[in-house]
């Protein structure tokens, strides 16, 4: 039956592409999580009335974040070609997609991090200060743990955006399910391949969403 419905789908290709998509997604989610939290913390801490209040640093960071968020992802990949080449030594394959994926998603996630941190009860930060906590302690033992459910649901949303970014990156040769759908499916008019790739991507998205929701719920003790 599989052969009748999907005559042109080759499972070995599908699995390789799935592996590539997962590879790009997982590594870039990790990268985005770290870079986004760093940027988000910087945005939050340098804003008015906070621990590192600094208008200059805050507006520079905010501008950078806004600029990178404004660039459409497909253009960002092209813009970053020289940088990618320098960093990874290649502009093809899943590895080469990583810098663009992380740089494209981190600013978006940074804003979500900033929102999550703003939701942390000011009184709790104050309580930590009244106990004589250092800023580092406040960041790692108060701000991040107290905002963790929001940070997790934020990274879930971002991960799903990243999955669709990997498909776009595929179109210009990054590999993965997007690449397969475009090259094998669209170019050759084998639409059953496009359809199979869609199903695989939807399943991946569902799995990510499920894991994200579950983790976020499990750590939320409010």
- Which residues make up the interface to another protein (CB under 8 A)? 121, 123-124, 126-134, 137, 141-142, 145-146, 148, 219, 221-222
Interatomic CA distance for residues 131 and 129, integer angstroms: 5
Residue 62 beta carbon to another protein: minimum distance, rounded to whole angstroms: 22
CB closer to another protein, 89 vs 132 = 132
3-state DSSP assignment of residue 134: coil
Minimum separation from the CB atom of position 121 to another protein (A): 7
CB closer to another protein out of 148 and 161:
148
> Which structure tokens are listed for 126?
């104050």
Minimum CB separation of residue 18 from another protein in Å reads 36
Output 3 or 130, the one with its CB closest to another protein.
130
| CB closer to another protein, 85 vs 220 | 220
Residue closer to another protein, measured from CB, 189 or 221 = 221
| CB of 48 vs another protein, minimal distance in Å | 13
Size of the chain, expressed as the number of residues it contains: 222
User: Do the beta carbons of residue 16 and residue 198 sit within 8 Å?
Assistant: no
Q: Which is nearer to another protein, 121 or 213 (CB)?
A: 121
Least distance (Å) from another protein to the CB of residue 55? 15
H-type alpha helices, the chain: 2-5, 11-45, 55-70, 73-79, 81-88, 94-118, 122-130, 135-137, 144-169, 176-180, 191-219
Least separation in angstroms between CB 141 and another protein:
7
Q: Name the residue nearer to another protein (CB basis): 58 or 147.
A: 147
Least CB distance from residue 2 to another protein, whole Å?
A: 48
Cα–Cα distances (Å) from 127 to 30, 48, 123, 132, 173, in that order, read 32, 19, 6, 9, 52
DSSP assignments along 53-94, one per residue: --HHHHHHHHHHHHHHHHS-HHHHHHHTHHHHHHHHS-SSSH
Q: Please, are residues 20 and 91 in contact by the beta-carbon 8 Å criterion?
A: no
């Amino acid at each position: 039956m599989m052969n009748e419905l999907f005559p042109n789908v080759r499972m070995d290709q599908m699995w390789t592409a799935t592996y590539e998509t997962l590879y790009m997604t997982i590594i870039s989610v990790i990268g985005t999580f770290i870079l986004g939290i760093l940027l988000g913390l910087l945005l939050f801490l340098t804003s008015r009335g906070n621990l590192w209040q600094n208008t200059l640093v805050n507006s520079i960071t905010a501008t950078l974040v806004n600029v990178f968020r404004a660039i459409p992802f497909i253009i960002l990949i092209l813009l970053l070609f020289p940088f990618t080449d320098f960093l990874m030594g290649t502009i093809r394959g899943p590895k080469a997609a990583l810098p663009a994926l992380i740089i494209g998603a981190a600013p978006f996630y940074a804003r979500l991090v900033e929102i999550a941190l703003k939701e942390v009860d000011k009184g709790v930060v104050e309580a930590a200060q009244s106990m004589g906590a250092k800023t580092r302690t406040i960041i790692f033992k108060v701000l991040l743990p107290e905002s963790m459910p929001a940070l997790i649901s934020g990274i879930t949303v971002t991960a799903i955006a990243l999955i669709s970014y990997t498909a776009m990156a595929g179109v210009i040769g990054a590999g993965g399910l997007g690449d397969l759908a475009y090259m094998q499916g669209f170019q050759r008019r084998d639409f059953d391949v496009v359809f199979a790739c869609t199903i695989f991507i939807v399943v991946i998205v569902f799995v990510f969403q499920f894991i994200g929701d579950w983790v976020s719920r499990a750590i939320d003790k409010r």
